[in-house]
Amino acid sequence: MNYNWNWHIFFEPNPTGAGTYLDMLVSGLLLTIKTALLAWVIALIFGTIIGILRSLPSKTASWIGFAYVEFFRNMPLLVQLFLWFFVLPELLPRAAGLWMKQLPNAPFWTAAIGVGLFMSARVAVQLAAGIASLPRGQKQAATALGLTTGQGYRYVLLPIAFRIILPPLTSEFLNTIKNTSVAITIGLIELTGQARAMQEFSFQVFEAFTAATVMYLAINIVVVTGMRFLERSLAIPGYIAGK
Amino acid sequence: MIEISHVNKWYGPTFQVLKDCTTSVAKGEVVVVCGPSGSGKSTLIKCVNALEPFQEGQIILDGIKVNDPKTDLPKLRARVGMVFQHFELFPHLRIIENLCLAQEKVLGRSHDEAVAKGNKLLERVGLTVHANKYPAELSGGQQQRVAIARALAMDPIAMLFDEPTSALDPEMISEVLDVMVDLAHEGMTMMVVTHEMGFASKVAHRVIFMDKGEIVEDALKTDFFGSPRSERAQKFLSKILSH
């Protein structure tokens, strides 16, 4: 292979004139983190609401939950981002569509919300499974004590269900981070986008993507470690994951 | 105190679990409900605090109609203690927190007040030293005593027991029954689903025998054990008393 390795490329000035190639990648990394965090918050909030709906005895509630989950999990993420970014503004009334298109940082908001909603369907399914795995008597005991349905969820069912699903939730958090790279297609210059830009300007494709890989790995290690600590601090003595 | 009249309940369109059940429990009375498994005794007791809905008939609890859509069920349930077969302590809460949750969230007691009450009841069931443990760190008998204390913390006007000892090892049964006997002697109104005929003959005023969803026999304790009228009750008694 006739390839000219150059690991010093990271310290050479980038063509935008603002800093080095490394600075470029770091700014992409920060944008990836920002997008992923917002997406994860959205995924948790909507996933929790829909997960609860799916676990309620009401037929209407579980139908809404079912429709939501199937809508968001059965379409490729890429298609969903295109829908939100290119199609939605055209479907809205002219003024609203124009406002959306002219929104500053539109790719960022679209990516965070789009990835967030896509992931929320997965969080919802896991939470519903977590709640379903609890003995039926737990809900009955909460009800028999006079707690309302809302209080039963808030103080009894959700605290246990979330502990049970923490390990798969860690995977979903990691998926959220990695899925933000799809946003490159709607013009969000996050970590993958910056690596590609670096490759185009410098022709050092291997160095650029090696650095991006290491950075993705680094964030994910932080997340995995953080979630481990969370799992440990929430462990219940004698119960799941507790010793 | 508890008036059950002509209650019919179906699971699905055809399977009838309760057939025209009528009985009552007076203030301070201890009524034992027994019968073979699948006879509907647990279902009946869960209808009393509306954990299970029923289609026909009515249940009146301390003057309030349970199956009236206008009844504030959480408020009504808070006034009736219930103890379950599998204890159903909340695994993520310490023992004292299990006793305080509903006192604070349902009755609106202050935290200090709830803790004081909780500690008093723990002392009564002999578990003061375990106040800061989690449920999974206690034996089954201890957990069930905590569950009784948790129900008593709400100052109930009546207590419902749904097979409180059938998930326990023989040597733990007596520690739970002792607490229940004390309660009965203090004049607590109790409806107890159990196979513990020793308990029944010691403290019950009346015994109800159910089979296939029907109340087959509803008699004073002495009559029931002395000369059960129905053949089914005779058979049942001879089976469970033969060992």
Tell me the nearest-neighbour CA distance from B160 into chain A, angstroms: 10
Q: What is the CATH number of the domain that holds B211?
A: 3.40.50.300
pLDDT value of residue B227:
82
Among the partner-chain residues A135, A146, A236, the one whose CB lies closest to the CB of B136 is A236
Residues of B in contact with A141 (CB under 8 A): 82, 84, 88-90
CB A147 within 8 A of CB B105: yes
pLDDT value of residue A242:
54
Question: Within the 53-112 window of chain B, which residues sit less than 8 Å (CB to CB) from chain A?
Answer: 74-75, 77-80, 82, 84-86, 88-92, 101-102, 105-107
Cα(A192)–Cα(A216) distance, integer angstroms: 9
pLDDT value of residue A238:
75
The topology under which CATH files domain A16-242 is MetI-like fold (1.10.3720)
Calculate the CA A122 to chain-centre distance: 10
The neighbour count for residue A188, using CB atoms within 10 Å, is 26
pLDDT value of residue A100:
85
Cα(B8)–Cα(B57) distance, integer angstroms: 6
Give me the amino acid identity at B74.
P
Please state the pTM of the whole predicted model: 0.90
Among the partner-chain residues B74, B79, B136, the one whose CB lies closest to the CB of A237 is B136
Say if the Cβ atoms of B92 and A242 lie within 8 Å.
Answer: no
Residues of B in contact with A156 (CB under 8 A): 90, 101
Percent of chain A scoring above 70 in pLDDT: 98
pLDDT value of residue A243:
52
Nearest residue on chain B to A161, alpha-carbon basis: B92
Tell me the nearest-neighbour CA distance from A136 into chain B, angstroms: 9
Domain of residue B108, residue span = 2-241
CA angle centred on B134, ends B83 and B78, rounded to 5°:
35
Residues of A in contact with B46 (CB under 8 A): 140
Considering only residues B227 and A197, tell me which one the structure prediction assigns the higher pLDDT: A197
> Which portions of chain B are predicted below pLDDT 70?
243
Among the partner-chain residues B74, B84, B154, the one whose CB lies closest to the CB of A137 is B84
Quote the number of domains for chain B: 1
Percent of chain A scoring above 90 in pLDDT: 84
CB A231 within 8 A of CB A58: no
Nearest residue on chain A to B78, alpha-carbon basis: A146
| B199 and chain A in contact, CB less than 8 A | no
Calculate the CA A181 to chain-centre distance: 11
Among the partner-chain residues B49, B74, B85, the one whose CB lies closest to the CB of A147 is B74
- Reported as a pLDDT band with limits 50, 70 and 90, residue A65 is very high
Contacts with A187 (C-beta within 8 Å, 6 or more apart), sequence order = A107
pLDDT digits (tens, 9 = 90+) for A156-179: 999 999 999 999 999 999 999 999
* SS3 category, B174: helix
pLDDT value of residue B243:
64
* SS3 category, A158: helix
Q: In sequence order, what E strands does chain B have? A: 2-11, 15-25, 30-34, 56-61, 64-65, 80-83, 158-162, 190-193, 206-211, 214-220
CB B37 within 8 A of CB B210: no
